[in-house]
Amino acid sequence: MANPLPREYYQYLGELQSVDFVLVELTLYLDTHPDDAQAIAQFGQFQRRKMALMSQIENAYGPLREYGNSPAGNHWSWADSPWPWQV
Protein backbone atom coordinates (compact mmCIF):
# COMPACT_ATOMS: atom_id res chain seq x y z
CA MET A 1 0.00 0.00 0.00
CA ALA A 2 1.56 3.27 -1.11
CA ASN A 3 -0.19 5.67 1.28
CA PRO A 4 -0.65 4.66 4.91
CA LEU A 5 -4.14 5.34 6.11
CA PRO A 6 -4.63 7.97 8.81
CA ARG A 7 -5.49 7.02 12.36
CA GLU A 8 -9.02 8.37 11.88
CA TYR A 9 -9.71 5.61 9.34
CA TYR A 10 -9.03 2.95 11.95
CA GLN A 11 -11.01 4.85 14.57
CA TYR A 12 -14.00 5.01 12.21
CA LEU A 13 -13.73 1.30 11.43
CA GLY A 14 -13.44 0.45 15.13
CA GLU A 15 -16.57 2.42 15.93
CA LEU A 16 -18.38 0.88 12.97
CA GLN A 17 -17.52 -2.61 14.22
CA SER A 18 -18.80 -1.69 17.69
CA VAL A 19 -22.04 -0.33 16.28
CA ASP A 20 -22.47 -3.47 14.14
CA PHE A 21 -21.97 -5.62 17.24
CA VAL A 22 -24.69 -3.71 19.10
CA LEU A 23 -27.03 -4.04 16.11
CA VAL A 24 -26.49 -7.81 15.94
CA GLU A 25 -27.17 -8.17 19.66
CA LEU A 26 -30.27 -5.97 19.50
CA THR A 27 -31.52 -7.96 16.50
CA LEU A 28 -31.18 -11.20 18.44
CA TYR A 29 -32.90 -9.68 21.47
CA LEU A 30 -35.73 -8.24 19.37
CA ASP A 31 -36.29 -11.63 17.75
CA THR A 32 -37.50 -12.83 21.14
CA HIS A 33 -38.82 -9.51 22.52
CA PRO A 34 -40.46 -7.83 19.50
CA ASP A 35 -42.59 -5.46 21.59
CA ASP A 36 -39.76 -3.90 23.63
CA ALA A 37 -40.13 -0.24 22.67
CA GLN A 38 -36.87 0.78 24.34
CA ALA A 39 -34.88 -1.85 22.40
CA ILE A 40 -36.57 -0.80 19.17
CA ALA A 41 -35.64 2.82 19.85
CA GLN A 42 -32.04 1.80 20.59
CA PHE A 43 -31.95 -0.20 17.38
CA GLY A 44 -33.06 2.87 15.43
CA GLN A 45 -30.45 5.03 17.16
CA PHE A 46 -27.62 2.63 16.35
CA GLN A 47 -28.90 2.09 12.82
CA ARG A 48 -28.77 5.85 12.19
CA ARG A 49 -25.25 6.00 13.68
CA LYS A 50 -24.15 3.17 11.39
CA MET A 51 -25.47 4.95 8.31
CA ALA A 52 -23.76 8.20 9.35
CA LEU A 53 -20.45 6.43 10.01
CA MET A 54 -20.56 4.57 6.71
CA SER A 55 -21.26 7.81 4.89
CA GLN A 56 -18.35 9.55 6.64
CA ILE A 57 -15.97 6.71 5.87
CA GLU A 58 -17.04 6.39 2.24
CA ASN A 59 -16.86 10.13 1.63
CA ALA A 60 -13.35 10.32 3.06
CA TYR A 61 -11.77 6.98 2.09
CA GLY A 62 -13.85 5.26 -0.58
CA PRO A 63 -16.54 2.61 -0.73
CA LEU A 64 -17.13 0.01 1.96
CA ARG A 65 -19.75 -2.00 0.10
CA GLU A 66 -20.03 -3.33 -3.42
CA TYR A 67 -22.92 -4.04 -5.82
CA GLY A 68 -24.39 -0.56 -5.87
CA ASN A 69 -24.60 -0.14 -2.11
CA SER A 70 -21.90 2.53 -1.96
CA PRO A 71 -21.77 5.77 -3.94
CA ALA A 72 -19.53 5.56 -7.00
CA GLY A 73 -18.82 9.25 -7.52
CA ASN A 74 -16.88 10.32 -10.61
CA HIS A 75 -14.12 7.75 -10.21
CA TRP A 76 -14.42 3.99 -9.75
CA SER A 77 -12.49 3.68 -6.50
CA TRP A 78 -13.45 0.22 -5.23
CA ALA A 79 -9.93 -1.15 -5.63
CA ASP A 80 -8.03 2.06 -4.71
CA SER A 81 -7.80 1.58 -0.96
CA PRO A 82 -7.59 -1.54 1.18
CA TRP A 83 -10.88 -3.26 1.76
CA PRO A 84 -12.19 -3.13 5.34
CA TRP A 85 -11.23 -6.76 5.98
CA GLN A 86 -7.64 -6.09 4.86
CA VAL A 87 -6.81 -3.60 7.62
Q: What is the pLDDT of residues 7-54, one digit of tens each?
A: 898 999 999 999 999 999 999 999 999 899 999 999 999 999 999 999
> What separation in angstroms does the CA of 79 have from each of 3, 11, 34?
14, 21, 40
Task: Compare 74 and 43 and report the one with higher pLDDT.
Answer: 43
Give the Cα-Cα-Cα angle 77, 81, 87 (nearest 5 degrees).
145
Quote the pTM value. 0.73
C-alpha closest to that of 28 among 79, 45, 20: 20
